Amino acid sequence: MAEEKKEFWRWTESNWKNPDLDWEDAELITVGIDVGSVSSQAVIMADGEILAYGNMRTGSDSPNSAGNALNFALQALDGMPEDRMDCCIGTGYGRINVPFADRSITEIACHARGANFIYGPEVRTVLDVGGQDIKVIQCDDKGKVTNFLMNDKCAAGTGRGMEVFSDLLGVSINEVGDRSFNVKEEPTAVSSTCVVYAKSEATGLLRKGWTTEEVLAAYCRAMAERIYSLIERVGVVPEFAVTGGMAKNRGVMDRLMPMVGLERMKTGWDTQIAGAAGAALFGYALCRKGKGRQK
Amino acid sequence: MLANYGYKDASGDFFVTIDTEKCDGCGDCISACPAAIFLVLDEDPNDPMRDEPVAIVAQDKKKKLKYECNPCKPLRDRPPLPCVEACKAGAISHSW
């Protein structure tokens, strides 16, 4: 009988509750739902502070994944009734498909706002490497966008490409970063970052006798170069922060940062929740402006 | 805010930039553009706190700007771009 196929790309889903906050004390509870092409997050905020979040994989059905992510976050926060939410903002690739959202806001605005929250107001340049696109955003100390670029035409250099590679090479996505540094000499980057071409190039390199680690290193370097070429267009103003799942991949980040010439900021938060956190914060701001739920 | 709409691929950089600080949402670019790449929205999708209308590049056009803008960009004797000329505020620029 065939062995069950291991899903190397599968990253860890998580939910979390803030032990210091109680939803019953909150005046305004706002929710941000970020339905991306690969992952979905729900962040529940009490008066602008994170109460709980859920981070999971987007399924094939956007309305469902939005609900699943919210339920996942609510699970962590046992006991809060859903109708206690004052405002719900949808964002991300699938934002128009969040059935229970009061309104939707683009992920550009939300990521800048969210990065401002999770990294602090010193952030001026935000790089978000998502599942299917790359965003470079400059923002001010309030998290307001001043310059942005989003490359969503092509998935080259994005999280999905990394998933394809971890599957091809049989390396768990969580180990890609560390293993890509396990090489005697840094190889040159694969010549194409296009996922389809890079995959066939990698297969060729493996047949030529390259080790898995060398191929990983070559692909991580190619991705870093691709990401840097987009950063260059917008320019870098310190401090520099990275959001999205790729921030967890040392293989790409440790190759990218020397090109940028800066250290990236550090945070204790899950970098994947930035978009949803920004959406929840916009919900809070809009509610206070009286532009929240239209009933 | 400098809103860069477009993409970068192996053939080059194709971005139309709208400076939303200068744009007042007058809509002159809409009538000037033969390929109808611009739209004016009452609310800036990238800045939910803004109250004035603003021009954006339509979602279905921004991934094919190289081709949509091509007729206005002949190889030689290039006249000023109609969108750039029409915008009195000087909010529109092209990267190529």
Closest Cα in chain A, distance from residue B61 (Å): 11
Minimum Cα–Cα distance from B2: chain A residue: A147
B31 has pLDDT over 90:
yes
- Collapse the DSSP code of A270 into the 3-class scheme (helix H, G, I; strand E, B; otherwise coil) and give the result: coil
Q: How far apart are CA B45 and CA B54, in angstroms?
A: 9
Nearest to A176 by CA among A91, A245, A92, A93: A245
pLDDT, tens digit, 9 for 90 and up, residues A260-276: 999 999 999 999 999 99
CA dihedral for A195, A112, A22, A68, sign (positive or negative):
negative
First to last CA, chain B: 20
pLDDT-based confidence at residue A295 (cuts at 50, 70, 90): very low
> How far is Cα of residue B21 from the mean position of the Cα atoms in its chain?
14
- Collapse the DSSP code of A249 into the 3-class scheme (helix H, G, I; strand E, B; otherwise coil) and give the result: coil
Considering all CA atoms of chain A, what is the largest pairwise distance in Å, rounded to the nearest integer?
A: 65
Mean of pLDDT values over B37-59:
89
CA–CA distances in Å: residue B29 to residues A147, B26, B84, B89: 21, 8, 8, 11
pLDDT-based confidence at residue B77 (cuts at 50, 70, 90): confident
What pLDDT was estimated at residue B67?
94
Q: How far apart are CA B64 and CA B57, in angstroms?
A: 11
- Collapse the DSSP code of A218 into the 3-class scheme (helix H, G, I; strand E, B; otherwise coil) and give the result: helix
Contact call for B2 and A154, based on CB within 8 A: no
8 Å CB contact between A267 and A118:
yes
Give the residues across from A139 on adjacent strands.
A145
Tell me whether A262 touches chain B (CB under 8 Å): no
- Complex ipTM value: 0.85
What pLDDT was estimated at residue A1?
54
**Would you say how long chain A is, in residues?**
295
pTM exceeds 0.80: yes
Contact call for A144 and B1, based on CB within 8 A: yes
A116 has pLDDT over 90:
yes
8 Å CB contact between A133 and A227:
no
Among A144, A147, A153, whose Cβ lies nearest the Cβ of B2?
A: A147
Which residues on chain A are in Cβ contact (under 8 Å) with B95? 233
Tell me whether A71 touches chain B (CB under 8 Å): no
pLDDT-based confidence at residue A216 (cuts at 50, 70, 90): very high
Nearest to A27 by CA among A51, A60, A62, A56: A51
Mean of pLDDT values over A199-219:
93
Structural domains in chain A, CATH included, are: 14-120+272-288 (3.30.420.40), 125-264 (3.30.420.40)
**DSSP state, A275?**
H
Among A106, A229, A286, whose Cβ lies nearest the Cβ of B45?
A: A106
8 Å CB contact between B22 and B79:
no
A208 has pLDDT over 80:
yes
pLDDT, tens digit, 9 for 90 and up, residues A147-190: 999 888 888 888 888 888 899 999 999 999 999 999 999 999 98
Tell the burial category of A83 from Cβ atoms under 10 Å away from its Cβ (0-12, 13-18, 19+): exposed
Q: How far apart are CA A201 and CA A206, in angstroms?
A: 9
Tell me whether B13 touches chain A (CB under 8 Å): yes
**Other CB atoms closer than 10 Å to residue A76's CB: what's the count?**
17
pLDDT, tens digit, 9 for 90 and up, residues A1-22: 556 678 888 888 888 998 888 8
Q: How far apart are CA A219 and CA A176, in angstroms?
A: 10
Q: Which of B18, B41, B46, B95 should we substitute to test contact with A (largest number of A Cβ atoms within 10 Å)?
A: B46
Tell me whether A106 touches chain B (CB under 8 Å): yes
Q: How far apart are CA A95 and CA B28, in angstroms?
A: 30
Tell me whether A154 touches chain B (CB under 8 Å): yes
CA dihedral for A188, A191, A195, A197, sign (positive or negative):
negative
Q: How far apart are CA B61 and CA B7, in angstroms?
A: 11
Mean of pLDDT values over A247-251:
92
Q: Which of A82-96, A166-180, B11-25 has the lowest mean pLDDT?
A: A82-96
Q: How far apart are CA B46 and CA B3, in angstroms?
A: 9
Structural domains in chain B, CATH included, are: 2-94 (3.30.70.20)
CA torsion angle for A166, A169, A174, A179 (degrees, to 10)? -130
Nearest to A234 by CA among A145, A133, A132: A145
Which residues on chain B are in Cβ contact (under 8 Å) with A229? 8
